[in-house]
Copies of this chain bind each other. A is one copy, B any other.
Amino acid sequence: MKFATMPDDTPDGRLHVVSRDLTRCMPAEAAATMQTLLEGWERLAPGLAAQYAALNAGAGVPFEAGRALAPLPRAWQWLDGSAYQSHGHLMSKVFGMADSPVDRPLMYQGLSDRFLPATADVPLPSEEDGIDFEGEFGVICGPVPMGTGAEAARGHIRLLVQINDWSLRVVAPTEMRTGFGWVQAKPACSAAPVAVTPDELGDAWRDARVDLPLSVEWNGDSFGLVEGYQMAWGFDELVAHAARTRDLVAGTIIGSGTVSNANFRDVGSSCIAERRGIEMLDLGAARTPYMRFGDRVRMECRLRSGAPLFGAIDQTVVKR
């Protein structure tokens, strides 16, 4: 099934079921909001299957992706991993940080009180902060009890989403050196308009990873076409890591971290910092600047058939 949240003058918006081809939608009957659905998934989701079938048979109204909010417009918890080791190795080399530990995933807790809509302008205070995008995948969980292992955790993954984890690179190293993680360096993320159940990926939901390419364009130019599968830790392991000492509330979103591939010189990157890191290694200095106000980034992941999946993030950075 596929879901989007349409604006209705409440912070949580109105949950809609969306047709597989993303052309039509209708308000979900069983739950008014995504959070409500996630809290009562076992009870509520089966009733939505009939609506989804009707949509795929032509019912519903046109789905206006450009009006959609984030699928979960605000979440009680956002924990972002950094599961692509090619990204971690490069960043640690370039920024002089400790490299990724080998025995555990990297993860930080980020701002979750709002996820920006896929096509909304992104207001930020200063170009001097080093404005960067980060293309990611994420999962939205039901409630996960403390101590849940990876195998059981997989069963608590309800939905997959596509995220742009906005990052301020000039601030980031200063905050990392403290060991406290990021606050100023991680403003609100954005999310593609549609959340999908894992079965929508078919075989491309593999080992709790999204085995699909993410396309990233910056101001209309291709910047990366990176494969989602190369995570050192699957989402099942990321969820289990997050739940080791805490119960995860329904609606917890867990991110993959910047999608990155070992052959980044061939396939490009899903963030500017990675390209700058490659330039520092290859050319001795970074040449690609960070984003300027007015710059636009587009990110989309489709099935290998070309069929749409999450819809696209397509947004412009503006001065706050």
Identify the A interface with B (CB < 8 A): 74, 76-77, 79, 82, 97-98, 100-101, 104, 106-114, 123-125, 129, 146-147, 168, 171, 174-185, 187-188, 241-242, 244-247, 249, 252, 320
The reply to whether B109 and A109 form a contact with Cβ atoms under 8 Å apart is: yes
Are A123 and B146 in touch, CB under 8 angstroms?
yes
Q: Is B184's CB under 8 angstroms from A244's CB?
A: yes
Give min CB distance, A175 to chain B, whole Å.
8
Q: In the complex, which of the residues A109, A184, A245, A252 has the most CB atoms of chain B within 10 Å of its own CB atom?
A: A245
| Chain B residues, CB < 8 A from A177 | 98, 101, 179
Q: Are the CB atoms of B187 and A246 closer together than 8 Å?
A: yes
Cα distance A176–B179 in the bound complex, in angstroms: 4
Q: Which residues of B contact A171 (CB under 8 A)?
A: 245
Give 7 A-B pairs besides A74-B76, A77-B111 with Cβ atoms closer than 8 angstroms: A104-B174, A106-B178, A107-B180, A109-B111, A124-B245, A125-B146, A129-B245
Q: A76-B74, A174-B101 are in contact. Are A180 and B111 (CB under 8 A)?
A: no
- Across-interface contacts of A244 in B (CB, < 8 A): 125, 184
Q: Does A147 lie within 8 Å of B125, measured CB to CB? A: yes
On whether the beta carbons of A178 and B98 are closer than 8 Å, the reply is yes
What's the least CB distance linking A311 to chain B, in Å?
Answer: 25
Q: Do B183 and A182 touch (CB < 8 A)?
A: no
Closest chain B residue to A123 by CB distance? B146
Chain B: minimal CB distance from A79 (Å): 6
The 13 listed contacts between A and B (C-beta, < 8 Å) are A76-B113, A108-B181, A108-B183, A109-B109, A109-B111, A109-B182, A109-B183, A114-B249, A125-B146, A179-B179, A183-B241, A184-B241, A187-B246
| A77-B183 contact given A125-B146, A178-B100, A245-B125, CB 8 Å threshold | no
A113 pairs with B77, CB closer than 8 A = yes
> Chain B: which residue is nearest A145 at the CB level?
B320
With a 10 A CB-CB cut-off, give which of A174, A179, A182 has the most chain B CB atoms: A179
Instruction: Please give, as numbers and ranges, the residues of chain B lying within 8 Å of A245 by CB-CB distance.
Output: 124-125, 129, 168, 171, 184-185, 187
Q: Which 7 A-B pairs have the closest CB atoms?
A: A181-B181, A176-B179, A76-B113, A113-B249, A108-B180, A187-B245, A109-B109
* A82 contact set on B, CB distance < 8 A: 180
Contacts of A176 in B (CB 8 A): 179-180
Contact A109 B181 (CB under 8 A): yes
**Given the complex, which residues of B lie within 8 Å of A112, measured CB to CB?**
76-77
Given contacts A77-B113, A109-B110, contact A97 B179 (CB under 8 A): yes
**Residues of B close to A114: CB separation below 8 A:** 247, 249
List chain B residues, Cβ under 8 A from A125: 146-147, 244-245
For A183, the closest partner residue in chain B by CB is B107
Q: Chain B residues with Cβ under 8 A from A100's Cβ?
A: 178
